[in-house]
């Protein structure tokens, strides 16, 4: 991955407003900001020696830009409420969540994750972020024209196929929810989870299908569900090392312990808080796994 592609595709806006000076970085306003360089640990010296300062700045700016592209606030809707959460393994990562209001009074929500075809530690964070950006852009470009969630994944898969990194693929869960009747179209690519959460239980909505980038002309299927009042849809793109069946069982057990009144009062953000407990580090030396969750609740 060359330097220009990183800067052009992820960090151009952040780096364009700065210029180097002997004392640090000069911002577009002309002020000089001190440049602090973290000294690497002994075990990291070999890696640090091969990394140039411009590359470090590009990676840092790209991470900042990626975080800024996550939704900062939820749309204020009378019919639905939405919340999301993403946790990154590194500062620059390949997992994301998003939502967008579409034509015909529908809401698009999604949670995605870049997956390495091989050891997870071998994945380059910049490559993962670029892959996620490509999937993100493809979904947004086709969202207004897709009849349902399955069609949207099919269109995105064809767009990604010509530019896909053979070592990386995208796991993605998508839902298109009608604002008026609570009808939702849901589709999943890869090891993501799509769950319907209600007092009566926590049930999977969509079956797993190939990841985006695996097959160019695969036709993804949608699953329809109608949300009753105060019911929720959870979309989860989790660490590839997690086993979806076991993760599903643990999350379902967490919601099953709640009484009907708690379910009735549970907001979308509350559902996120319950699900994200499965992604908290289990010990001081355990890294937080990468995961993204989005929840939609019918008011």
Global confidence as pTM: 0.77
How far, in whole angstroms, is CA 84 from its chain's centroid? 9
The pLDDT of residue 21 is above 60: no
Over residues 30-45, the mean pLDDT reads 39
Q: What does the alpha-carbon distance between residue 156 and residue 132 come to, in Å, rounded to a whole number?
A: 12
Report pLDDT for 284: 53
Report pLDDT for 134: 86
The 3-state DSSP class for residue 292 equals strand
Q: Give the pLDDT band (50/70/90) at residue 187.
A: very high
Q: Which CATH class is domain 71-298?
A: alpha beta
Q: What one-character-per-residue DSSP string does 255-276 give?
A: HHTS-HHHHHH--HHHHHHHHH
Q: What does the alpha-carbon distance between residue 1 and residue 124 come to, in Å, rounded to a whole number?
A: 9
**Strands 106-116 and 95-102, bridge-based pairing:** antiparallel
Greater pLDDT, 51 or 168: 168
Of 243, 246, 256, 235, the residue nearest 86 (C-alpha): 235
Structure tokens at 41: 């640990």
Q: Where are the domains of the chain?
A: 3-65, 71-298
Q: Give the pLDDT band (50/70/90) at residue 118.
A: low
């Amino acid at each position: 991955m060359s330097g220009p592609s990183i800067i052009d595709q992820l960090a151009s806006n952040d780096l364009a407003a700065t210029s180097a000076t002997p004392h640090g970085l000069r911002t577009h306003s002309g002020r000089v900001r001190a440049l602090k360089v973290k000294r690497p640990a002994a075990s990291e010296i070999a890696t640090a020696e091969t990394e140039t300062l411009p590359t470090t700045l590009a990676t840092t700016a790209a991470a900042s830009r990626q975080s800024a592209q996550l939704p900062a606030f939820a749309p204020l809707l009378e019919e639905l409420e939405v919340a999301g959460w993403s946790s990154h393994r590194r500062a620059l990562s390949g997992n994301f969540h998003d939502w967008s209001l579409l034509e015909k009074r529908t809401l698009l929500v999604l949670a995605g994750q870049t997956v390495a075809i091989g050891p997870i530690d071998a994945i380059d964070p910049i490559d993962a972020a670029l892959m996620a950006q490509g999937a993100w852009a493809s979904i947004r470009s086709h969202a207004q024209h897709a009849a349902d969630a399955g069609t949207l994944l099919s269109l995105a898969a064809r767009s990604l196929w010509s530019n896909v990194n053979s070592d990386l693929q995208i796991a993605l869960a998508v839902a298109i929810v009608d604002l008026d009747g609570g009808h939702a179209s849901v589709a999943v690519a890869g090891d993501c989870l799509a769950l319907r959460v209600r007092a009566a239980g926590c049930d999977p909505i969509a079956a797993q299908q190939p990841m985006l980038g695996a097959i160019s002309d695969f036709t993804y299927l949608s699953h329809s569900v109608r949300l009753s009042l105060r019911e929720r849809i959870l979309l989860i793109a989790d660490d590839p090392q997690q086993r979806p069946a076991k993760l599903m069982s643990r999350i379902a057990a967490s919601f099953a312990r709640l009484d009907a009144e708690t379910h009735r009062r549970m907001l979308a953000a509350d559902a996120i808080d319950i699900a994200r407990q499965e992604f908290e580090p289990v010990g001081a030396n355990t890294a937080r796994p990468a995961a993204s969750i989005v929840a939609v609740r019918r008011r």
